[in-house]
């Protein structure tokens, strides 16, 4: 029996584990980095202990600190969640040595699948179909380059110890190989401490389909159906669904049985996922096995009605599987979207900072929200920028899609930029509606990252009504009578119509709106059209009647901004009522700044060096991803103001640069 459980993780997965453990009557222990002190998971646990540090290396990857806390609070078991130490065989073995139950597979199984090259060999021996490639131990650059030629371009470089798209690069021509290899190796080294690479033939336009498996310690194993995870950006999944659409029943069953065979081949115990690439003819090839709970496990839970964390805790405690294969059923469809703090219109750069406002829809039998943050929390540059997972379920795929769309539209965040609108545009695209899914989905649907810059007229009406109402509600300190015209700061005039013209800023551009009050209504003009607006403000919603048509907006108002949300779209308008507005100007050239906080992993130039447009100047790592700072045009580097290993802040000057005017 597991009575006390330490969760060696953070964010939404820590909250999710605590939720199930608490329901089972298990006492929960949280550990946290200094920057996570006010995160929800810390408050939700029965006890919480600081790990005294900021970076992952100092905290959630520090095995000695975590074991010390587990022993101090007399924990029976440690749940690693996903990421961090979840697939670390050394940590699993250390837990066993300290008489702590590691909620995951045995160390030998993690070790077998953690090295992708070794995993390929094991699966080959088990007659599991493999993608052609090189999985050898010789990591000499010349050898790898030669093997890529043997496999034939295009090829895929993959970190042998990796996962989650880290240390993975597609290479389409020999001229790209050296640069992409070096980048993949650096990222793999930073993420996993191992830069060993393998090479695979890049299968064009495949689907990424994975199978959830579960084994107990008595040798029994089952599969809990499949998930399609084809929609990926930089090899990182952003939308997943279960079951995978448009698969023949025979293919689905064969994949499930093959996945179970993979688990049996390595003596697996616990939750695991076997990932396959599927071509247009439904031939499938083993890609890798993740020896942990997956980020996307909620879609499997939604279609099966099972709690996989409960299964993990029971199996880790020595119990047999709660159900046999013939009793596991799939019901309906579930689709998950991952909300990240990132800017799709700015190269998907992570967006760090404080969450000023967060409002999420309530979870129900049809909609699930797994969120790890709350208003006031900080999105740190030291960790993954995922804010939440939003899942919609329905008896059909289309119903699940519509429920997901509605839930995304109701998930509102200010303070950081998110990809919510981008996710809405993806699931509303024709290819997604028709389930035409491949790993090249986003490349086949260019422009989804760009929001429509045109401000609809009814959006302007909502903005004007909100701003006018906010001003009207503000009392004058010198007169406390709320009904006196002198206590209002609108343009009331005796015997005259109230008329005001207000200016707003959006994306550095200004526009103005004229308002007139007629009794209980507003008239809003844009120079050509007029609209009667009946204003109703309640619970962060504003309802508008424009030309007889009602529309509803969500909103959040801060000191100098009004944020409007509708159907996944988000507009942040700066208001002219105080002196805190952002200055709207373009900075002159002469320096290249850090786009976010992070760590410098490589300086590729030196003072006096001439470069051309696109040359890499500095490589930095932030929020678990590597980002290259490139020359904006031809010129000369006058000074390098950072060094490798340095932690930099957003907008810190990294390179002083003098443009030549050529090659721009």
CA–CA dist 234, 28 (Å, integer): 35
Helix (H, G, I), strand (E, B) or coil at 226: strand
Structure tokens at 178: 């050296």
CA–CA dist 358, 356 (Å, integer): 7
User: In sequence order, what are the beta bridge partners of 208?
Assistant: 277
C-alpha distances in angstroms, 415 versus 479, 558, 565?
A: 34, 10, 14
Name the nearest CA neighbour of 325 among 256, 272, 395.
Answer: 256
Give yes or no for a contact between 588 and 632, defined as CB atoms under 8 angstroms apart. Answer: no
Helix (H, G, I), strand (E, B) or coil at 561: strand
Neighbours of 40 (CB within 10 A): 18
CA–CA dist 643, 378 (Å, integer): 27
Structure tokens at 386: 């995922």
CA–CA dist 523, 369 (Å, integer): 39
CA–CA dist 83, 61 (Å, integer): 10
CA–CA dist 92, 10 (Å, integer): 18
DSSP annotation string for 441-498: HHHHSTTTTSPP----HHHHHHHHHHHHHHHHT---TT---TTSGGG--S--BTTB-E
Helix (H, G, I), strand (E, B) or coil at 183: helix
C-alpha distances in angstroms, 265 versus 92, 214, 260?
A: 19, 14, 9
User: In sequence order, what are the beta bridge partners of 658?
Assistant: 636
Catalytic residue among 16, 292, 401, 554: 292
Looking at the chain, how many residues does it have? Answer: 664
Name the nearest CA neighbour of 28 among 98, 95, 76, 97.
Answer: 76
Q: Is there a catalytic annotation at residue 27? A: no
Say if strands 367-371 and 386-394 run parallel, antiparallel, or are unpaired: antiparallel
For tokens 């089972």, name the residue.
24
Structure tokens at 554: 């969500």
CA–CA dist 223, 212 (Å, integer): 6
Give yes or no for a contact between 8 and 31, defined as CB atoms under 8 angstroms apart. Answer: yes
Give yes or no for a contact between 289 and 112, defined as CB atoms under 8 angstroms apart. Answer: no
Give yes or no for a contact between 272 and 214, defined as CB atoms under 8 angstroms apart. Answer: yes
CA–CA dist 135, 145 (Å, integer): 13
Question: Using omega within 30 degrees of 0 as the cis cutoff, is the peptide bond preceding 154 cis?
Answer: yes
By annotation, the residues acting in catalysis are 292
């Amino acid at each position: 029996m597991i009575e006390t459980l330490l969760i060696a993780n953070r964010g939404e997965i820590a909250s999710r584990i605590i939720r199930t453990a608490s329901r089972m009557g298990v006492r929960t222990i949280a550990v946290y980095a200094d920057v996570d002190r006010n995160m929800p998971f810390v408050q939700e646990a029965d006890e919480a202990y600081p790990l005294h540090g900021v970076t992952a290396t100092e905290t959630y990857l520090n095995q000695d600190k975590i074991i010390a806390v587990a022993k101090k609070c007399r924990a029976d078991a440690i749940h690693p969640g996903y990421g961090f130490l979840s697939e670390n065989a050394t940590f699993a073995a250390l837990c066993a040595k300290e008489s702590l139950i590691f909620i995951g597979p045995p160390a030998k199984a993690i070790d077998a699948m953690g090295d992708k090259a070794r995993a390929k060999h094991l699966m080959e021996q088990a007659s599991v179909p493999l993608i052609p490639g090189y999985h050898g131990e010789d990591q000499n650059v010349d050898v790898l380059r030669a093997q890529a030629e043997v496999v034939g371009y295009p090829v895929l470089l993959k970190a042998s110890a990796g996962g989650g798209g880290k240390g993975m690069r597609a290479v389409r021509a020999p001229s790209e190989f050296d640069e992409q290899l070096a980048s993949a190796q650096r990222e793999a080294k930073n993420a996993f401490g191992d830069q060993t690479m393998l090479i695979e033939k890049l299968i064009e336009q495949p689907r990424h389909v994975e199978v959830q498996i579960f084994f107990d310690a008595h040798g029994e194993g089952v599969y809990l159906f499949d998930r399609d995870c084809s929609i990926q950006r930089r090899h990182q999944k952003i939308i997943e669904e279960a079951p995978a659409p448009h698969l023949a029943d025979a293919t689905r069953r064969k994949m499930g049985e093959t996945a179970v065979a993979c688990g049996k081949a390595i003596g697996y115990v616990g939750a695991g996922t076997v990932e396959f690439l599927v071509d247009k003819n439904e031939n499938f090839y083993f890609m890798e096995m993740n020896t942990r709970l997956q980020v996307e496990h909620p879609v499997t839970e939604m279609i099966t009605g099972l709690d996989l964390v409960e299964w993990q805790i029971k199996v880790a405690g020595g119990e047999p599987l709660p159900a046999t294969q013939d009793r596991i059923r799939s019901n309906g469809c579930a689709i998950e979207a991952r909300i990240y703090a990132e800017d799709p219109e700015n190269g998907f750069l992570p967006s760090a900072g404080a969450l000023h406002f967060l409002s999420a829809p309530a979870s129900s039998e049809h909609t699930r929200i797994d969120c790890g943050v709350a208003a006031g929390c900080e999105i740190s540059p030291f960790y993954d920028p995922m804010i939440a997972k939003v899942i919609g379920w329905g008896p059909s795929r289309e119903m699940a899609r519509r429920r997901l769309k509605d839930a995304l539209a109701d998930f509102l965040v200010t303070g950081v930029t998110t990809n919510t609108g981008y996710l809405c545009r993806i699931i509303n695209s024709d290819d997604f509606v028709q389930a035409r899914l491949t790993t090249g989905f986003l490349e086949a649907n260019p422009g989804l990252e760009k929001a429509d810059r045109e401000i609809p007229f009814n959006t302007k009406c909502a903005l004007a009504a909100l701003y006018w109402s906010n001003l009207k509600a503000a009392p004058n300190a010198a007169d406390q009578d709320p009904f006196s015209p002198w206590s209002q700061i609108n343009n009331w005039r005796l015997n005259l119509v109230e008329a005001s013209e207000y200016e707003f800023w959006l994306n550095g551009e200004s526009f103005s709106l004229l308002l007139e009050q007629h009794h209980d209504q507003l008239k809003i003009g844009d120079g050509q059209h007029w609209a009667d607006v009946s204003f109703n403000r309640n619970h962060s919603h504003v309802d508008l009647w424009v030309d007889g048509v009602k529309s509803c907006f969500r909103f959040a108002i801060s000191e100098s901004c009004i944020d409007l949300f509708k159907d996944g779209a988000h507009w942040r308008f700066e208001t002219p009522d105080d002196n805190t507005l952002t200055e709207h100007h373009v900075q002159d050239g002469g320096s290249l700044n850090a786009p976010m906080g992070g760590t410098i992993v490589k300086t590729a130039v030196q003072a006096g060096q001439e470069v051309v447009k696109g040359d890499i100047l500095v490589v930095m790592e932030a929020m678990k991803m590597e980002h290259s700072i490139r020359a904006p045009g031809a010129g000369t580097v006058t000074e390098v103001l950072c060094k490798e290993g340095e932690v930099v802040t957003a907008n810190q000057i990294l390179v002083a640069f003098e443009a030549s005017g050529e090659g721009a």
